[in-house]
Amino acid sequence: MATYSITDFSALGLKPTNAGTWTGRQSSNAGTSLTSYSPVDGKAIGEVSTTTRAEYDAALEKAHAAFVHWRTIPAPKRGEYVRQFGDVLRANKDLLGKLVSYEMGKSLQEGWGEVQEMIDICDYAVGLSRQLTGLTFQSERPNHHMMEQWHPLGIVGVISAFNFPVAVWSWNAALAWVCGDVVVWKASEKAPLCAVACQHLWNQVATSNDLPEGISTIVTGAVEVGQWMTADMRVPLVSATGSTAMGRKVGSVVAERFGRSILELGGNNAIIVTPEADLKMTVIGTVFGAVGTAGQRCTSTRRLIVHESIFNKVVDVLKKAYSQLTIGNPLDPTVHVGPLIDSAAVAQYERALTEVVREGGTILVEGGVLSGPGYESGCYVKPAIAHVENHFAIVQHETFAPILYLMTYSTLEEAIALQNRVPQGLSSAIMTLNMREAHTFLSAAGSDCGIANVNIGTSGAEIGGAFGGEKETGGGRESGSDSWKAYMRRQTNTLNYGNNLPLAQGIVFNI
Ligand code: UN1
């Protein structure tokens, strides 16, 4: 068996230690540190120092000072720095993709894909930097101009999850930067080296352009660091990606202080497979959706709602496809499925499979934790398929693991109702070549999700569209379309260039 080991991350700003690991120590703080374990081999692969409260406060002050300068730079010029950042990412795509894959465990193809997503959002943000447009309005008063302008907010706090350890930050950061904001990033404590690497790559742009520190800052640590940020009046916008439970807390604490939040939380994404589906496309979309990132995307396909007339056929093709999946070291570019993030995730996976059976489900493709050579970390699991009912408690719950729940329907209305009958509302899809079915699914009476696709799976959204979902997914939108507006404040301007001061609504006020 070939070995795929990583030898040198120094180009990403990580320093080798004598213990054969990597250090991304950010400060002189030699106190507490956070160890990063790779789910690939179970090894401690590096450590970073955690941010103390005093360091956090100093970082916020530095970020604010940077903002005061950054907001005066014309947006297209800020876009130019983001363009350069995109180029630095291009030059480091291979290595950063490998680090993502090694630290987080997703397949190398997906690790590279994640870096490509960063490059794409930089390109998008460059164009956007010349398109932060406001409207003008017709004033009811003579010699008056009315318009709206978009101004930066200030410090944008980003809280990101382990599953997209670099891309989700970049969607936020690239947009925030061109909008004139600065970014303080609390990355997942399960993938801290990825954050250090991103900071290092940004620093290259900052240094070569003489930009102040604080346009990009990372703060590291466990949940309390996120709590500081959430409660911090200096952070007008918190963009948080993670579980619904986490988002509920973040959303309420930020709302309490009249801050804004962008919440991108759990999904429970389904694909409806109608009798008029192209089965070959269905298999690709479903299998990538269900097992890609080992089922740890918020967009992962969790449920397949299959017309009863084709159920057996669909089960057969899926079984065949699943038997061909390679599970192993994600750094091997031919591997489809890497490990889950840690042993807690493995326990959740096992619990879900037990629950499915307890609630009356039937296992169609057997799961299980893999052991033996290459699987020593204990985090490798077999993608499983179960035949279930949509109302099972475990099916209503998002389990971050490669478990696909199959269920049947008889009418399209019923299929759409099943698709919508979960607490979450992120992504959805229908496989059909029938235009009536497709358009019904996309209509107001169709999918209730933020993302609704036809003849592609639920995962793998492009950055050009707004990304996010409804209900317990949190309602936030990131990335493309007009998501940038969430990173700015709207100002309505009315300017009187006449010789009198007439009041609106015709009010007479003689003095
Ligand atoms: C996530 O899982 O948090 O649509 C983000 C997708 C990716 C992003 C997923 N572009 O699957």
DSSP 146-179: EEEEEEE-SEEEEE--SSSTTHHHHHHHHHHHHH
Q: Is residue 256 located within the same domain as residue 282?
A: no
- Cα of 62 from ligand 1 centre, angstroms: 31
- Cα of 462 from ligand 1 centre, angstroms: 9
* Residue 413: pLDDT over 50: yes
Q: How far apart are alpha carbons 16 and 225 in whole angstroms? A: 26
Task: Note down the domain range covering 383.
Answer: 269-463
Provide the pLDDT for residue 6. 59
Residues in the ligand 1 pocket, defined by CB under 6 Å: 117, 163-164, 168, 241, 297-299, 459-461
Q: How far apart are alpha carbons 82 and 183 in whole angstroms? A: 13
* Residue 25: pLDDT over 80: no
Which residues are within 8 A (CB) of 196 and not within 5 positions of it... i.e. 6 or more apart? Answer: 12, 13, 14, 24, 26, 48, 218
Q: Is residue 137 located within the same domain as residue 180?
A: yes
Alpha helices (runs of H) in 332-458, residue ranges in sequence order? 343-358, 393-396, 412-420, 435-442
- Cα of 114 from ligand 1 centre, angstroms: 9
Q: Is residue 2 part of a domain?
A: no
Catalytic residue among 117, 264, 398, 472: 264
State the Cα angle at 374 between 371 and 377, rounded to 5°. 65
Q: Is residue 308 located within the same domain as residue 433?
A: yes
Q: Is residue 202 located within the same domain as residue 222?
A: yes
The answer to whether the CB of 38 falls within 8 A of the CB of 377 is: yes
* Residue 28: pLDDT over 70: no
Q: How far apart are alpha carbons 128 and 125 in whole angstroms? A: 5
Q: Is residue 402 part of a domain?
A: yes
Sign of CA dihedral 47, 53, 54, 55: positive
Determine the residue of 298, 451, 453 to mutate for testing ligand 1's pocket, defined as the one with the most ligand atoms within 8 A of the Cβ atom. Answer: 298
Q: How far apart are alpha carbons 296 and 409 in whole angstroms? A: 26
Q: Is residue 210 located within the same domain as residue 280?
A: no
Provide the pLDDT for residue 1. 41
Residue 96 confidence class, pLDDT cut points 50, 70, 90: very high
Read off the pTM.
0.96
Taking the CA atoms of residue 201, residue 264, residue 416 and residue 422 in that order, the dihedral angle to the nearest 10 degrees is 130
- Cα of 41 from ligand 1 centre, angstroms: 25
Provide the pLDDT for residue 380. 98
**Better pLDDT: 491 or 21:** 491
| Structural Rg of the chain based on CA atoms | 24
Nearest CA to ligand 1 atom 6: 460
- Please report the atom of ligand 1 found closest to the CA of residue 463: 10
Q: How far apart are alpha carbons 72 and 153 in whole angstroms? A: 13
- Cα of 468 from ligand 1 centre, angstroms: 9
What are the tokens at 160?
């990101």
Q: Is residue 259 located within the same domain as residue 278?
A: no
Query: Taking residues 376-401, what's their average pLDDT?
Result: 98
Residue 26, helix vs strand vs coil: coil
Provide the pLDDT for residue 113. 97
In percent, how much of the chain has pLDDT > 70?
Answer: 97
The answer to whether the CB of 423 falls within 8 A of the CB of 447 is: no
Q: Is residue 441 located within the same domain as residue 481?
A: no
φ, ψ for residue 491, nearest 5 deg: -125, 125
Give yes or no: 298 in active site.
yes
148-181 confidence digits (pLDDT tens): 999 999 999 999 999 999 999 999 999 999 999 9
DSSP-assigned beta bridge partners for residue 430: 272, 454
Say how many CA atoms lie within 13 Å of 177 toward its Cβ: 34
Q: Is residue 497 part of a domain?
A: no
Q: Is residue 75 located within the same domain as residue 222?
A: yes
Q: Is residue 127 located within the same domain as residue 249?
A: yes
Q: Is residue 221 part of a domain?
A: yes
Q: What's the CATH number where 115 sits?
A: 3.40.605.10
Q: How far apart are alpha carbons 503 and 511 in whole angstroms? A: 13
430-445 confidence digits (pLDDT tens): 999 999 999 999 999 9
What are the tokens at 380?
């490798």
206-264 confidence digits (pLDDT tens): 999 999 999 999 999 989 999 999 999 999 999 999 999 999 999 999 999 999 999 99
Query: Taking residues 397-415, what's their average pLDDT?
Result: 98
- Please report the atom of ligand 1 found closest to the CA of residue 241: 3
Residue 29 confidence class, pLDDT cut points 50, 70, 90: low
- Please report the atom of ligand 1 found closest to the CA of residue 297: 2
Q: Is residue 257 located within the same domain as residue 339?
A: no
* Residue 352: pLDDT over 60: yes
Q: Is residue 175 part of a domain?
A: yes
Alpha carbon 202 to its chain centroid, in Å, reads 19
Q: Is residue 135 part of a domain?
A: yes
Q: Is residue 88 located within the same domain as residue 109?
A: yes
* Residue 116: pLDDT over 70: yes
Q: Is residue 254 part of a domain?
A: yes
Q: Please state, rounded to an integer, the average pLDDT across all residues of the chain.
A: 96
Check residue 369 and report its DSSP letter: B
Q: How far apart are alpha carbons 95 and 79 in whole angstroms? A: 25
Provide the pLDDT for residue 5. 59
Query: Taking residues 314-341, what's their average pLDDT?
Result: 97
Number of domains forming the structure of the chain: 2
Provide the pLDDT for residue 222. 86
Q: What's the CATH number where 444 sits?
A: 3.40.309.10
Q: Is residue 22 part of a domain?
A: no
- Please report the atom of ligand 1 found closest to the CA of residue 267: 2
* Residue 85: pLDDT over 90: yes
> Which residue from 134, 135, 147, 133 is spatially nearest to 497, judged by alpha carbons?
147
Q: Is residue 295 located within the same domain as residue 342?
A: yes
Give yes or no: 61 in active site.
no
* Residue 299: pLDDT over 80: yes
Catalytic residue among 122, 298, 379, 449: 298
